[in-house]
Amino acid sequence: MDLRTAHPDQPWLWRADWAAGEIHSSPKVKAIFFLLLTIFWNFCTFSALASLRSNVDPDRSKITAWLMLFPLIGIGLLLTAMRALLQWRLYGESTFQLKLVPATIGGALEGVIRSSHSLPPMRPVKLHLTCINSVRGGDGKITDLPIWSDQLEVTTDGAGVIPVAIYIPPGCRPTATEPLDDRVSWKLIVSATANPVSYRAKFEVPIFATSETSARASDADELRAQRDARVNAFQPPEKSRIRVALAADGSTEVFFLAFRNPAVALALLGFLVLWIGLTIILFKDHAPLIFRIAWPFSDVLIGIWVLSLLFGSTSVHARNGDLTIVWRLLGIPLRSRHLSLSEIDDIRSGSGTSAGNTVYRRIQIHRAGNAAISFGDGIADSIEADWIASTIAKAVGLSGSASDRAKNFPARPPLSDYLRSR
């Protein structure tokens, strides 16, 4: 009898590693894959170059520079393979031993991570937990969309073991392996800086919506309290692009300055340049009319997005019972909203723009029976995002911590529903 048949109502027991409470991660498969890919790529590349060199071609000198890109890619693959092989040799296989199976929404992901060759004691380690929604589009292509993430830094103990204890707030989506066109998975990425290569491991973890035992509830309450303490004790860094100040009239002012996230803004700017270059080629080569209409339209949309990231700013003025939000571009007010306390159900951080496996945060104002108002996208630190939301909420007059208010807050609808409605 297979695990699915034995536990039809417990999908977290359908995988042998989840059922055993031990999830494994090893750079061995990655190292072998890149090693074989490197051998294949370089064999094909140098064989082709040798063939071209023997061919008398008066234009050969004009194309040699472009052909050198292929050996450079081969060198990059070789370095990647060597790095993975060295990680395998230094750290071996890593095992994440779960405290409880499964981890629960509104609860905690807990356990310890051990590697075959232990990390040095008291070494800082970054934990990055991400929820990914894999959605199949109308063309059959599956797109991975990060919809929630959080980061935490811990320290290895005296034996080099990595402790894991991450609070998972209500409203997150549980693991869903079915249907295949709308899957939800949770990935834990663990990394530590070291010489000559850094430590890195990735685990797919089971996180489901289950009833809490008293032990689970106690653990969740403790982690929630620890997170609230981190939020309350947060101090904005001096170079932060988000300024919080107290105005002369007693209101709290929050300024989200332009160019808050240079990495995302510059990456999108580079993409826009390439997209514009493609548009120019389409017009130069007299592409079909539909392409010459669609591509410039896309240029405009992406250009507006880039302008908002580079030059868009937002200011928030909050006082007891009163909230005003003003959106600006190049310092010019474009739109404003004024809300009274009676119109606001909650103010807290939510998922915003994603880049890679990182989901940036934004501030959301939830209103009964109305769509949420969002602003301040691009906050990398979830603790900072929660602190900003809590600061605004307290200034307006909402009581309780963000996590307390979120306990009974409804879960977000599946992202695939939104995508299908577009």
Note the pLDDT tens digit of each residue in 114-159: 998 888 888 899 999 989 888 887 777 788 888 888 888 899 988 8
CA angle 86, 195, 79 (to 5 degrees): 40
Question: Given pLDDT bands bounded at 50, 70 and 90, which one contains residue 409?
Answer: very low
Q: What average pLDDT score do residues 362-373 get?
A: 85
Amino acid symbol at 145: L
Q: Dump pLDDT digits (tens) for 24-76.
A: 998 888 889 888 999 998 888 888 777 766 655 555 454 455 566 788 888 88
β-sheet bridge partners, residue 202: 189
Is residue 183 within 8 Å of residue 175, measured between CB atoms?
no
Question: Given pLDDT bands bounded at 50, 70 and 90, which one contains residue 416?
Answer: very low
Q: What average pLDDT score do residues 251-277 get?
A: 89
- CA atoms within 13 A of residue 278's CA, in its CB half-sphere: 14
β-sheet bridge partners, residue 163: 112
- Looking at residue 62, its pLDDT comes to 47
Of residues 150, 152, 170, the one with CA closest to residue 212: 170
Question: Given pLDDT bands bounded at 50, 70 and 90, which one contains residue 338?
Answer: very high
Q: Which three-class secondary structure state does DSSP give residue 333?
A: strand
- The mean pLDDT value of the chain amounts to 83
Is residue 236 within 8 Å of residue 384, measured between CB atoms?
yes
Question: Given pLDDT bands bounded at 50, 70 and 90, which one contains residue 324?
Answer: very high
Question: Does 226 score more than 90 pLDDT?
Answer: no
Is residue 360 within 8 Å of residue 379, measured between CB atoms?
yes
- Looking at residue 255, its pLDDT comes to 94
- Looking at residue 50, its pLDDT comes to 73
- Looking at residue 357, its pLDDT comes to 65
As a dihedral over the C-alpha atoms of residue 30, residue 31, residue 35, residue 41, rounded to 10 degrees, the angle is 30
Question: Does 202 score more than 80 pLDDT?
Answer: yes
Question: Does 292 score more than 60 pLDDT?
Answer: yes
Question: Given pLDDT bands bounded at 50, 70 and 90, which one contains residue 410?
Answer: very low
Question: Does 396 score more than 70 pLDDT?
Answer: yes
Q: What average pLDDT score do residues 343-365 get?
A: 84
* Strands 358-367 vs 346-355: parallel, antiparallel or unpaired: antiparallel
Q: What's the pTM value of the predicted model, to 2 decimals?
A: 0.72
Rg (CA), the chain: 25
Q: Dump pLDDT digits (tens) for 66-116.
A: 566 788 888 888 888 888 888 888 888 999 999 988 888 888 899 999 998
Q: What average pLDDT score do residues 336-342 get?
A: 90
Question: Given pLDDT bands bounded at 50, 70 and 90, which one contains residue 328?
Answer: very high
Is residue 345 within 8 Å of residue 402, measured between CB atoms?
no
- Looking at residue 57, its pLDDT comes to 53
